[in-house]
Chain A
Amino acid sequence: MEANIAIPTDGKDTWSGGGQKPLGASYGKMMMWFFIVSDALTFSGFLAAYGLTRFKFIDSWPIADEVFTHFPGLHGVHAPMYYVALMTFILIISSVTMVLAVDAGHQMKQKRVAWYMFATIIFGIIFIGSQAWEWKNFINGTYGAVKTTDGRLLQFVKDGHQIALSDIVVGERTDGRIQHERENGLWFEKEEAIASYSIAQIQEAYKSNSDVLIRSELIDPATKQKIILSREEGMAQLAKTKMVVEGANLEVNEYGNTIFADFFFFITGFHGFHVLSGIIINIIIFFNVVLGTYERRGHYEMVEKVGLYWHFVDLVWVFVFTFFYLV
């Protein structure tokens, strides 16, 4: 009979879901595992949708090396991948301090658990700060590009390297168009940021710089590089310019396919949200450790459970890193 009925507890075990331990795991730990399964499926849904979209636009997808090229302190240096590798490493280190906290918890060493939890929180904050920096660079953009009436994005290259609009256009915006703010009274609302240069200025600059070429979005399958147009072709494409694009948002981005930026924001944003909640949960558990809650409870299983969540966040990043930045 006993196996089939809930065993009344004395109230102490409420948090652990009673004394039953199916599959040798406590209620909380098992539920954390099943939550992780469902969350893993959510992330797979995102990444699989990214895969679908990438396959759909396989001949014109942005090349990650050319998008994520910044490293703090190295201005104008082309440093693909280094920063995201550093971020990955930070997250792995935070995973290690977390697992050390769990390990110390098994040995009931309160102080060590607290210190390792603290380190995990710090690394988590560093990671999320790095992600914010990455977002900032992505949103602000580096080079700028133009979009044509048939939705193509054109970038500018010189000697095989991408160059910024400011490298070819001389001076300020000349068509007298200024940013409308609430203060200058042209509209009640401020408008979206306008580009630094007008379309005519860019077309003029292209004409007068004979060594500047235009790069299309299309990838050459033989070299896996974007196809660079001849001067004449570039001129014809540039004549169709509809807007000047600087940076990235959900509607348009200077890196290529708009949906690339959408997936970047959604996937890394959703992951960043997990990191943020992980940090908050870690902070709560850290205070519980410091206050001796688990010392009194007699075990540090809560640390183990948040540890599972934290490692899962790291696990997801391993996949995001591969499929967004490497493959």
Chain B
Amino acid sequence: MAHAHESNTKRIWVVLVLLTVITTVEVVLGIIKPASLHLTSILGTSPLNWIFIILTLVKAYYITWAFMHMEAEHKWLRRSVVWTSVFLICYLLTLLLIEGSYLHSVLAPLVKW
């Protein structure tokens, strides 16, 4: 690894600032919950939820790439880890969420509130 002996502290601080800013944005949005984002819906859920999910993935990217040094790993190590987990997690999530909606559509009409 070429980077082995040089210091990456500057990048670490930049990533810290990024993560902090993203978390702050998430929390502020989570507290305010602007009606235009919270009470509308695109692609099955509110835009606010999509913002949270995308920001989470951005954070996950920075943690994995910068803190876990994924960017410095061998290309195929990176792919064997990232592709495997991304594929399996998406697969699992898709199946379970579809199943959850199905359960709701079957059970909800039977529940009397």
Give the number of residue pairs across the A-B interface with Cβ within 8 Å.
152
A223 and B39 form a contact (CB under 8 A): yes
A51 and B96 form a contact (CB under 8 A): yes
B77 and A37 form a contact (CB under 8 A): no
| A178 CB-CB contact with B under 8 Å | no
Q: Measured between alpha carbons, how far is A107 from B8 in the docked complex, in Å?
A: 11
- 16 A-B pairs besides A34-B81, A37-B85 with CB distance below 8 A are A23-B73, A36-B81, A37-B81, A40-B89, A48-B92, A48-B97, A51-B93, A52-B96, A53-B100, A55-B104, A92-B20, A96-B12, A100-B12, A311-B63, A315-B60, A315-B64
Q: Measured between alpha carbons, how far is A23 from B11 in the docked complex, in Å?
A: 25
| A179 CB-CB contact with B under 8 Å | no
Interface range on chain B (Cβ under 8 Å from partner): 35 or more
B-binding segment of A81-89, A138-146, A207-215, A285-293? A81-89
Chain B residues whose CB sits within 8 angstroms of the CB of A224 once the complex forms? 38-39
B84 and A55 form a contact (CB under 8 A): no
Among residues 1 to 52 in chain A, which have CB atoms less than 8 Å away from a CB atom of chain B?
23-25, 30, 33-34, 36-37, 40-41, 44-45, 48-49, 51-52
User: DSSP class of A's interface residues: helix, strand, loop or mixed?
Assistant: helix
Pairs across A and B, CB under 8 Å, 21 listed: A24-B73, A30-B77, A33-B81, A37-B84, A40-B85, A40-B89, A45-B92, A52-B100, A58-B101, A58-B104, A88-B23, A92-B16, A92-B23, A96-B13, A96-B16, A99-B66, A152-B113, A223-B39, A311-B64, A322-B26, A327-B53
Please give the distance in Å from A66's CB to the nearest CB on chain B. 12
Chain A residues whose CB sits within 8 angstroms of the CB of B1 once the complex forms? 24
| B110 CB-CB contact with A under 8 Å | no
Q: Measured between alpha carbons, how far is A107 from B67 in the docked complex, in Å?
A: 17
Please give the distance in Å from B49's CB to the nearest CB on chain A. 5
Q: Measured between alpha carbons, how far is A53 from B101 in the docked complex, in Å?
A: 9
Residue from A56, A85, A102, A315 within 8 A of B107 (CB atoms): A56
Q: Measured between alpha carbons, how far is A312 from B59 in the docked complex, in Å?
A: 12
Chain B residues whose CB sits within 8 angstroms of the CB of A44 once the complex forms? 85, 88-89, 92-93
B9 and A100 form a contact (CB under 8 A): yes
A103 and B8 form a contact (CB under 8 A): yes
B100 and A55 form a contact (CB under 8 A): yes
B52 and A327 form a contact (CB under 8 A): yes
A322 and B85 form a contact (CB under 8 A): no
Mask of B95-113 contacts with A, CB within 8 angstroms, 1/0: 0110111011001100011
Query: Which of chain A's residues has its CB closest to B95's CB?
Result: A48
A24 and B52 form a contact (CB under 8 A): no
Q: Given the known inter-chain contacts A41-B85, A85-B27, please indicate yes or no for A55 contacting B52, CB distance below 8 A.
A: no
Chain B residues whose CB sits within 8 angstroms of the CB of A304 once the complex forms? 69
Residue from A85, A95, A325 within 8 A of B63 (CB atoms): A95
A106 and B63 form a contact (CB under 8 A): no
| B4 CB-CB contact with A under 8 Å | yes
| A319 CB-CB contact with B under 8 Å | yes
Among residues 6 to 51 in chain B, which have CB atoms less than 8 Å away from a CB atom of chain A?
6-9, 12-13, 15-16, 19-20, 23-24, 26-27, 30-31, 38-39, 45, 49
Q: Measured between alpha carbons, how far is A224 from B41 in the docked complex, in Å?
A: 12
Chain B residues whose CB sits within 8 angstroms of the CB of A103 once the complex forms? 7-9, 12
Query: Which of chain B's residues has its CB closest to A102's CB?
Result: B69
Chain A residues whose CB sits within 8 angstroms of the CB of B16 once the complex forms? 92-93, 96
Chain A residues whose CB sits within 8 angstroms of the CB of B108 once the complex forms? 59
Q: Measured between alpha carbons, how far is A99 from B66 in the docked complex, in Å?
A: 9
Q: Given the known inter-chain contacts A55-B101, A55-B103, please indicate yes or no for A89 contacting B23, CB distance below 8 A.
A: yes
5 closest cross-chain pairs (CB), A and B: A55-B100, A24-B74, A52-B100, A23-B77, A56-B103
A25 and B74 form a contact (CB under 8 A): yes
| A326 CB-CB contact with B under 8 Å | yes
Chain B residues whose CB sits within 8 angstroms of the CB of A107 once the complex forms? 5, 7
Please give the distance in Å from B19's CB to the nearest CB on chain A. 5
Chain B residues whose CB sits within 8 angstroms of the CB of A85 once the complex forms? 23-24, 27
B31 and A80 form a contact (CB under 8 A): yes
